[in-house]
Amino acid sequence: MNLDLELVNKLKEQKILPIINSVNFKEDLLKLTSLLDTNKKIKIIEITLRESHSLENAIKLKKRFPNLIIGLGSIINKKQYEEVKNYNFSFFVSPGTIYEMINSKIENYIPGAETISEFNYLDNNEINIVKFFPATLSGGNLKLKSIENIYKNLTFIPTGGINKSNINSYINLKNVLCVGMSNIPDIIDFFN
């Protein structure tokens, strides 16, 4: 299993992996505070590393919310992972499949994938938790439903285009662990 069982269970219970697309610390703090103030069930989030200050912002948020389990997203190569791994974040997420990281058997790493060939590769390399990205542009819930009896060892975190109008069509699938969402108002609506 590529993800710690405790994290898997918490994500399954939480149903949504909130994603903070880090832009600046004040905005990130406001998003996270509004999310946590409206729902005490949220224990795990992902912060993406898309901007030059994203890692610094993630480190500050980690200090500000010590009881929150925080993972880093938008890891695009092993070099970037090596640069951030010692900051003690709980997990790491890529938008795509990074073969070098798979071959290195990195713990608590969630690769992204969208094609049957990628799913096949991950399944054959004992990766069982996969970010399905971009979900709605890559066949959505119908694609996941069509492969649930083929790839019985894979469990997905669909991300990209998930919103309050389509979330249930994903989380009700037997091969979906939870969904990744960055639209904070939609996440708040779902939990209320």
Q: Hey, how many other C-beta atoms are within 10 angstroms of the C-beta on 153?
A: 12
Whether 191 maps to a domain, the answer reads no
- Positive or negative, the CA dihedral 47, 96, 189, 8 is negative
- Residue 191's φ and ψ, nearest 5 degrees, are -80, -15
- Residue 70's φ and ψ, nearest 5 degrees, are -120, 130
Whether 116 maps to a domain, the answer reads yes
The answer, as to whether pTM is greater than 0.85, is yes
pLDDT at 11: 98
Q: Give yes or no for a contact between 180 and 131, defined as CB atoms under 8 angstroms apart.
A: yes
Whether 65 maps to a domain, the answer reads yes
Whether 192 maps to a domain, the answer reads no
Give, to the nearest 10 degrees, the angle between helix 25-38 and helix 184-191.
10
Q: pLDDT tens digits for 65-92?
A: 999 999 999 999 999 999 999 999 999 9
- Which residue segment(s) compose the domain that 165 sits in? 5-185
Whether 190 maps to a domain, the answer reads no
Whether 133 maps to a domain, the answer reads yes
Whether 169 maps to a domain, the answer reads yes
Which CATH number do you get for residue 75?
A: 3.20.20.70
pLDDT at 191: 86
Given a cut of 50, the residues of the chain with pLDDT beneath it are none
Whether 152 maps to a domain, the answer reads yes
